[in-house]
Amino acid sequence: MKYYLIAGEASGDLHASRLMAALKEADVRAEFRF
């Protein structure tokens, strides 16, 4: 599945990186776009 993420500040970047790691564990075929 493809995921599109938008973060507006540094704390959003941190949350997004943790979300990406969790999604990648659950779905090894996950693709991310920024």
Q: What is residue 9's predicted lDDT score, i.e. its pLDDT?
A: 93
Structure tokens at 22: 């969790």
Query: Which DSSP helix (H) or strand (E) runs through 13?
Result: helix 10-26
Q: What is residue 34's predicted lDDT score, i.e. its pLDDT?
A: 79
Nearest to 1 by CA among 31, 33, 21: 31
- CA 28 → CA 2, 9, 10, 11, 23, distances in Å? 11, 27, 26, 25, 8
End-to-end CA distance of the chain: 15
Reported pTM: 0.79
Q: What is the pLDDT of residues 1-34, one digit of tens each?
A: 999 999 999 999 999 999 999 999 999 999 999 7
